[in-house]
């Protein structure tokens, strides 16, 4: 897995200290396409925690959609670096996103910078449960 599309974001994350661990990550590309991708990501569930979608859990850090190269790159993490379902999750993400964007190449990059924390959960009630 290449770090190239998000390498500058990773460097920014190392340099910036913020209350929100994902403050320096952001989506790049056509806003309508990014919204559609984020909606698709809300339909994907961690096989070991199927009660809440992975988008709400905060596992997707950033999405980059390049119209010129027709490539979508999703930067994400797992609930733990030792996730036994990691390969399966990557394939699930690729498969679901490719259903909505068949003409695009889908790449999934995994990072543990920063490690996942309860602060990343997007639902405040759910976040309180994990604190």
CB atoms near residue 15 (< 10 Å)? 8
pLDDT score for 8? 55
Alpha carbon 72 to its chain's center: 12
pLDDT score for 14? 43
Confidence of residue 2 (pLDDT cuts 50, 70, 90): very low
pLDDT score for 1? 46
Structure tokens at 70: 């027709």
Domains of the chain: 4-11+22-130 (3.30.300.130)
- Sign of the alpha-carbon torsion through 52, 58, 20, 77: positive
The CA dihedral of 35, 66, 8, 39, to the nearest 10 degrees, is 20
Query: Which phi and psi (to 5°) does residue 121 adopt?
Result: -65, 130
pLDDT score for 118? 87
Q: 72-119 pLDDT, tens per residue?
A: 999 999 999 999 999 999 999 999 999 999 999 999 999 999 888 888
| Entry pTM | 0.80
Q: 5-57 pLDDT, tens per residue?
A: 555 554 544 444 345 566 668 899 999 999 999 999 999 999 988 999 999 99
């Amino acid at each position: 897995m290449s770090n190239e599309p998000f390498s500058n974001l990773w460097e920014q994350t190392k340099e910036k200290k913020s209350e929100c661990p994902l403050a320096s990550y952001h989506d790049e590309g056509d806003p309508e396409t990014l919204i559609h991708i984020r909606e698709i990501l809300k339909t994907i569930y961690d096989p070991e925690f199927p009660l809440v979608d992975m988008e709400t859990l905060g596992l997707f850090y950033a999405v980059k959609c390049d119209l010129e190269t027709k490539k979508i790159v999703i930067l994400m993490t797992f609930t733990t670096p030792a996730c036994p379902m990691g390969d399966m999750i990557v394939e699930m993400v690729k498969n679901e996103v490719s259903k909505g964007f068949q003409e695009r190449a889908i790449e999934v990059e995994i990072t543990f910078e920063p490690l996942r924390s309860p602060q990343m959960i997007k639902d405040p009630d759910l976040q309180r449960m994990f604190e």
